[in-house]
Structures are given as C-alpha cells and as structure tokens.
Structure 1
C-alpha cells in the first residue's frame, strides 16, 4: 500500500491520524534527522552556498573537493576517488566510460539499473555469467571483460563473502561494484567493500556508490586506481557535469565522529534484534548489515495492522518482484526493537 507523508520518515511516521514505527528506507545511521548533523550541514551551506553549478575543470576550483576526495580515498582504501552529484550519476559515469570497443561489459544478477546502459544484458545466474565470460575470453579478438555488480544485492551472492564473484576468472576481468548500501555502514570504519574486493585478486577493482545512504548526503563517488580515476575525470562526461555541492563534501569532512558513534549504536541495535529473533524465522540476514529481507506479503500486512511499516514495493519498476525488507537504524530505540521482535515471535509461533 502506498502512503503519502509530509516529513522525512525517521523512527516514527504519521499516516493520517495514526503513528507507526518505521523500519524501512535506507537511512541506516539516522543522520538525516540528527540535529547535530543538520547543524553542521547548515553551517556549511552558509559558507559554500546551496549549490555550485560550475564544472570541476573550470578555472576557479574549491579546495574542499580535493580534501573530501582524499579523505574518502583513505577511508575506502583505494588509490584515488572522484565525487559526483549522485550515486546514479556515478554508476552511469562508469558505464559510459567502459562503453567502447576496448571492453566487453557484463552484468551480474541483481545489478542496479544505475550501472546499465541497456536493460537486456543481465545474466540470470552467476553460472550463466561464468559461462558467458569463458566463451568470450576464448575469442581471439576479445577485449577486457568488465563485470558490473551490486556489492550488497540482498541475496547472499555478493556481500559479505562474494561467493558468486569468486567463481569468475577474476585475474582476467575488471570488477565494478556498486557499494551504495555498504559504504558508511560496513567495513573498517564504514569504508565499505573495496578492501574486501581487492583481496580477491581481480585484474582491477572499481567501486561506485551513492553517499546518500551511509553518509546521509546527496552525492556519489567512484573509487579506483590513480591512473583509472585520472582517465575518467578527463572525459567530457565528467567535465560537463555539475559536481556534488561543496557543503555536502565539507559535511563529510566535519562529521566523522558522529558517523562513528552512529555505526557503533547501529551495531548494538543489530545484535540486540538478532538475539531476539525466533529460531524458525525465514528472513535473509547479512552479517554486519541492517537490512533484513523476506518474501511474505501476509507478514507485511500483519506488521502494518500492528502499527509497524517496513519497505514493501516492486523495485526498480512496477513489473519487478516486490522488495520487502525490515531496516534497522541507529535512530531506533531499544523499545522499538523489542516491540518488533515480540510481534515477529507471535507471528511465527502461530505458523507452527
């Protein structure tokens, strides 16, 4: 069911005259409604303005861009980084870059539309993808294969162990991973999956992402080798696009302590919740990530009748399967999780 609301959905939302607990969305660290975080962002807006519509290659350049990109580079563990105005643009930036005869692009199952230049070339399974790669690499005129995937695809094939990717001939391919649901939340200090992917021994690793989920700010980023990032930022695509707002990037630099505290709180909430789950639950849970997937429409309706709303809609379009998730956030209180876990236990005990 579609609901319209009039303010950002925090731990609670109001629909009509009724209050609900909200366990949905992607505000994993609860930054969007955090007063201290907002004050820092507003302070930076006063300094840098509400928008900066100039090209990054113009003759006047704000130093905060390089400062933020150096910070993110160290956080993630890559050689270099470039920021953009959104995660979707970051994905399209990488896709357009590899759209040439020197490369052959492949898409892993469940890869995000932001990574695609068309909708008809996604492999159905990792077994299919491996077979397609092996056939292609045998061609005498084969270019370099580039495999696009979602780092966190909520199926268990990717994060945390990347079992599907490990079956690929990694030393011969470039791996591009969308880490929008991971950066800021998982990995050392919220650095995401870059270091994990790097350890798999691929020919090259590139990570693109939105910063809107883990960092609570409208921006995107691409991480990779210094040579690759330099080559990408020399394209007309990059030079012709407006950048992320400088106030956004300044806020990333100024809020590291807040994010660290929020991640610590989120980890405690995840531990509390999972200890309270009944043994006979049928949720899909990823270690270290706050989104819990399930496929049960009746359970969604049951929660809503008990004043809890979760993520539940077809994604990425109306013809897609329904995406149903319970999403924990650092903004949730212990009593919120206790109520949710009590309802879950009650529901599953009735199924026995």
Structure 2
C-alpha cells in the first residue's frame, strides 16, 4: 500500500512527486471543497463569527449560528431536534454513552462505525448485515419488556452496500427499541439530499437517532445528532456535549447560505453515479450500488496498474493492519465526464491486461 503526500487542496487532481493524478479517493462525495463559491462562503462566515468558538454551548455568551444551523438541519431532515458537535465521533459517542446504560440488550451491526459502539463492545466487523438482522429479529422475539439498543451504519462504504431497515417492522412489539444509525457516509449522498436518512426511517417502531460526521460529503468539520426532543434533551445534558467546544462557525454559515450549491452538486453526483453504473453494472470483478458513488474490487494488481495510468484510488488494509486491502474508486460531483470516460477506458485496459482475471479480455464497458 502506497501513501501519497500532497501540500495542496484535494480536488479532481492531486499532485504527487511532480505528477498530476486523477483523484478517485477520499470522501468528498459532493466535491464542495473544490467550489470557489463555497470556499468564499466559509471565509465570509469566519470573518463574521471568527475562525473558531472555543466556549461550551452552555456558556452564558453564545453564537446564534449554532442554534440556526441545528434548527434548519432538523427541519429539513424531518427531525424534531438536532445537536452539532465538533466531530462525528463525538456525536456518536455522546449518543451511545447516554443511551447504552439504560439498555437491557445491545446489538450492533457488523459494519458499525466505532463511533457508535459502546466502549469494550465486541462484534464481527466482517459479518453479513442481513444475517445480523435475522439474528436481531430472533433475539427480540424471545425477550419481553426489554429496552433493546440497535446500532448500525446507514451504508457500508467499503463493499459498498446501502442498508435497508424495513425488517425492523418484524420485531416483537413487547419490547422498546432505540435505533442509532450512523449517517456519516449518507449525508449528501443517499436519503434526503444533504440531510441523510432520518426522514426515510422515522416511521419505524423505534426511537430513532441519526448520528454522523458532516466532514465527508457536506465538507463541514463537525458532527451532528438528529432525533426527538426527549432523547436529544438528555444527550444535551451529557458531559460530552456540555464540556466540549462546537465546530468552527464559518463552514456552518457556508452550509446555510450555500444550499443552492449543495443541490447543484447533489444532482451532478447522481448523474455521475448513474453514468458509471450503467457502464459497469454487468462487469465481472467490480461491485457498485446504483445509488452510491463507490466501485470496489478485490484484485490488488489493478491498484498499481491504474496508478501508472495516472489514477489514484482508495486502497488500505481493513479492518486490521494485516487484513487484505480494501480497494475502491470513489466518485465525486467534481468529476467531469471526461474524467469518467478516462477511468472507464483504463479500467477496461487493466482488466484485459490481467491474465489471471476471471473477466473476459474482450469485455467492454458499454
């Protein structure tokens, strides 16, 4: 696995050792950081509110931008309330540390991010989500009058896989359920545009909490929780929220003032996903979800072959340092059609040149 170091802003291209390489890695799904208009709004916000705000949200002197951001995000996400944190990890930890002590049983999906796992909780990170859902249904039907905490990601961005939670309707009604979903890789990509999957799952028979980082598609250095007034009111009193500083105010200002930019980028991302998916959906050796901007593959030889063609992708060992590499091409709204066509041409070349591939050499991405 190679590491690439650059001193410049990431976008369509990165410069490494004097070479300009097409960038198909990272988590900037909407490509917001590549937009001069968005960066201008961030600077504008920093000028108005300062570069950071180091006080507790419970301080007697408060910046109104945080309340405005939370109220707007909650309304658009169809949630009663929102809380912002300085990171997605902190948001998830605050939620779980508040709720877990009241749960009689905790069940976490295999790909759950560590941010939403209780300290010391052990599970199989490589397990199958559907099998886990079946296990939850079975376990919940042999219990009564229990509070059961369910933890899961909205998507597994490594496979990739977009999770369906309709199976929760099959749970026994003799228990009470809290469902925490990590939307870090959903905000801006799936669900309600920039606002994630809360509106999609709010009618499930559970107390729903959405947690997540906003630093990926939304390009906001912070985290957020979405839920009802009761649950978020409890979390608001937790020491993690009360004693921590909020995220920098400038990017939140940019989000509120730049909704037209987010919408434009969301539309462009969907177009890019559809264009690539239609080309490779029947291709052996690749895996892609029709609504998600990630192409995964197992053949590690293709990583170096693509790098020689000037294409950088995401490749690292997961979940442990000695595990096989997870290889992914990540699409972004900042990619142009010529970038996607160049990618497709070179995917076809590396596949056809790999004599050990199971993919027919004559296969075309059409």
TM value normalised by structure 2: 0.87
What's 1:174 paired with?
A: 178
* 1:328 equivalenced with 2:331 (yes/no): yes
* 1:77 equivalenced with 2:61 (yes/no): no
Indicate conservation of the 8 Å contact 1:157/1:163, yes or no: no
* 1:313 equivalenced with 2:313 (yes/no): no
SS in 2 for 1:215: coil
What's 1:193 paired with?
A: 197
Indicate conservation of the 8 Å contact 2:82/2:226, yes or no: yes
Q: Which moved further from structure 2: 280-289 or 179-188?
A: 280-289
Shift of 1:176: 0.5
Indicate conservation of the 8 Å contact 2:109/2:132, yes or no: no
What's 1:52 paired with?
A: 53
SS in 1 for 2:290: coil
Q: 1:128 to 1:246 in 2, by over 3 A?
A: closer
Q: Distance in 1 between matches of 2:299 and 2:171?
A: 33
Mark the runs of 5 or more structure 1 residues left unpaired by the alignment.
Answer: none
Q: 1:56 to 1:137 in 2, by over 3 A?
A: farther
What's 1:238 paired with?
A: 241
Q: Distance in 2 between matches of 1:153 and 1:166?
A: 22
- For these two proteins, the number of residue pairs brought into alignment is 350
Structure 1: which 4+ aligned runs deviate by more than 6 Å?
Answer: none
SS in 2 for 1:100: helix
What's 1:16 paired with?
A: 17
Q: 2:267 aligns with which of 264, 267, 278?
A: 264
Q: Distance in 2 between matches of 1:325 and 1:289?
A: 12
SS in 2 for 1:54: coil
When the two chains are superposed, the root-mean-square deviation of aligned CA atoms in Å is 2.4
Shift of 1:315: 3.6
Mark the runs of 5 or more structure 2 residues left unpaired by the alignment.
Answer: 354-358, 361-366
Q: 1:152 to 1:235 in 2, by over 3 A?
A: same
Indicate conservation of the 8 Å contact 2:102/2:147, yes or no: no
Q: Distance in 2 between matches of 1:244 and 1:7?
A: 23
What's 2:363 paired with?
A: none
Q: Distance in 1 between matches of 2:318 and 2:241?
A: 28
Indicate conservation of the 8 Å contact 1:208/1:223, yes or no: yes
Q: Which moved further from structure 2: 276-285 or 236-245?
A: 276-285
Q: 1:250 aligns with which of 243, 253, 276?
A: 253
Indicate conservation of the 8 Å contact 1:24/1:311, yes or no: yes
Q: How does 1:292-307 map to 2 (within 5 A)?
A: 292-307=295-310
